């Protein structure tokens, strides 16, 4: 099947040479059982290429399944992929087959492969090398004949340097690499894609199609499109629904194009400079909360000392100036650390604080938890509940976000 026929069958729009090269590699590697790694930015359409590889292979009559590794909670991902035996963990009321057993003789597409935990990467490497795996809670080796196609939008070599991805698994997956170019490098395809989306939405919503004037077309083509095809499609749908005038000018289009890229969606493994800023912020929070804990410990010690009447009388008589100085220190620290409520009061008999034990520490953790919950809610609201985008905005994995949403019972 030639490249044009593949485009028509799978709905691929564009004539960019790098796009055509990616389609050509996919069609050549399809008849083999070679493992393929697809790389490219988020939103470039990587999910189409595993389908090309599967339906042009001898496995086309076998099962095909696409899994997002970042959407499966870390605690259950081994069970999802490889299955488990009854009673192997809490809640395992019956045995279950994993995807590698169910999709035998077919193809598995593992999207966001860099999200896999290291322990799961070891299991996956064994499947790729020997076709064998063991269910969770079992000692029986199971054979499978599955083709694996993986995809990632992160820099895996950098993840390897950070110890977050196994080098041997990377080389095993990267037998044949396919790179999908970003939309900003396919300028001639941008308007073609826009017209296709305009036509689709006009039919879907039963309204006249949009038209761009020349200035708007030029703006559309020169925009960087960091969200790639996904962003272009979303903005096209917004304009199709909201704008009553079907003739779109550059001024109208500008209202829908984000001008600041400060919120550009990050990938999981950031550059070192980005990590430095995040780490310094976290370190500052840690220092401030540790300071509060030390103050609470000091207050408890002083309180315990003052429980002794003789010591109390001597302190009040001979060290009044020290108590006053201690109170002033509390006030100074409290005022200099806005956002961290450090309750301070003069240390004396009538105004002695209640005994401070674990309750203070619990309040500390709750204050951190509240900030975390607020950030998660804001990120989810910003992206209309889309967990993947919210997780990337927060700089955490989607699996971690899923766990925190469940832990904090965030609606």
pLDDT in tens, the chain (411 residues): 899 999 999 999 999 999 999 999 999 999 999 999 999 999 999 999 999 999 999 999 999 999 999 999 988 999 999 999 998 888 888 999 999 999 999 999 999 999 999 999 999 999 999 999 999 999 999 999 999 999 999 999 999 999 999 999 999 999 999 999 999 999 999 999 999 999 999 999 999 999 999 999 999 999 999 999 999 999 999 999 999 999 999 999 999 998 755 444 444 444 444 444 445 556 666 667 677 767 777 777 766 666 666 655 665 666 666 656 666 665 665 555 554 444 444 444 444 444 444 444 444 445 577 778 888 888 888 888 888 888 888 888 888 888 888 888 887
CA nearest neighbour of 88 among 124, 136, 54, 41? 136
In sequence order, which ranges of 166-246 are alpha helices (DSSP H)? 167-173, 187-205, 214-222, 228-242
Is domain 184-254 given the CATH code 1.10.3720.10 in the classification? no
Classify residue 136 by its DSSP letter: B
Helix (H) / strand (E) element for 105: namely none
Q: What burial class does residue 399 get, using C-beta atoms within 10 Å of its C-beta: 0-12 exposed, 13-18 middle, 19+ buried?
A: buried
pTM for this one? 0.63
Fold of 3-181: Rossmann fold (3.40.50)
The sign of the torsion formed by the CA atoms of 254, 260, 263, 267 equals positive
Region of 275 (left: φ > 0; alpha: ψ -120 to 50; beta: rest) is: alpha
Q: What CATH number is given for 368-408 in this structure?
A: 1.10.10
Go through the chain and tell me how many residues it has.
Answer: 411
Cβ pair 82, 58 in contact under 8 A:
no
Q: Cα(127)–Cα(100) distance, rounded to whole angstroms?
A: 9
């Amino acid at each position: 099947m030639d490249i044009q026929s593949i485009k028509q069958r799978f709905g691929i729009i564009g004539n960019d040479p790098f796009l055509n090269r990616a389609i050509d590699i996919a069609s050549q590697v399809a008849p083999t059982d070679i493992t393929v790694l697809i790389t490219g930015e988020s939103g470039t359409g990587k999910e189409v290429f595993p389908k090309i590889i599967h339906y042009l292979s001898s496995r086309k009559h076998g099962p095909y399944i696409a899994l997002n590794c970042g959407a499966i909670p870390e605690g259950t991902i081994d069970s999802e992929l490889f299955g488990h035996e009854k009673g192997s963990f809490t809640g395992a009321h019956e045995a279950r087959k994993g995807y590698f057993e169910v999709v035998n003789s077919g193809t598995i597409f593992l999207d966001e492969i860099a999200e896999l935990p290291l322990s799961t990467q070891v299991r996956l490497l064994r499947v790729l090398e020997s076709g064998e795996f063991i269910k969770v809670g079992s000692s029986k080796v199971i054979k499978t004949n599955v083709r694996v196609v993986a995809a990632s939008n992160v820099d895996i070599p950098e993840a390897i340097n950070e110890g977050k991805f196994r080098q041997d698994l990377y080389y095993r997956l990267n037998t044949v690499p396919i790179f999908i170019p970003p939309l900003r490098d396919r300028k001639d395809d941008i308007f073609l894609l826009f017209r296709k989306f305009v036509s689709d939405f006009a039919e879907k919503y039963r309204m006249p199609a949009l038209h761009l004037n020349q200035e708007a077309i030029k703006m559309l083509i020169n925009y960087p499109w960091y969200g790639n095809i996904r962003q272009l499609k979303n903005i096209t749908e917004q304009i199709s629904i909201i704008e009553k005038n079907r003739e779109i000018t550059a001024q109208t289009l500008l209202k829908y194009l984000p001008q600041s890229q400060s919120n550009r969606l990050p990938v999981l493994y950031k550059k070192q400079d980005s990590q430095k800023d995040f780490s310094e912020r976290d370190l500052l929070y840690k220092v401030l909360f540790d300071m509060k804990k030390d103050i609470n410990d000091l207050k408890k010690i002083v309180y315990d000392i003052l429980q002794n009447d003789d010591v109390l009388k001597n302190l009040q008589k001979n060290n009044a100036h020290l108590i006053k100085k201690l109170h002033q220190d509390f006030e100074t620290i409290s005022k200099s650390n806005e956002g961290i409520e450090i309750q301070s009061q003069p240390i004396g008999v009538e105004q002695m604080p209640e005994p401070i034990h674990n309750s203070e520490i619990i309040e500390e953790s709750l204050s951190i938890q509240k900030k975390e919950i607020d950030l998660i809610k804001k990120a989810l609201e910003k992206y209309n509940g889309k967990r993947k985008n919210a997780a990337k905005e927060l700089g955490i994995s989607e699996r971690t976000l899923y766990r925190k949403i469940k832990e904090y019972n965030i609606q």
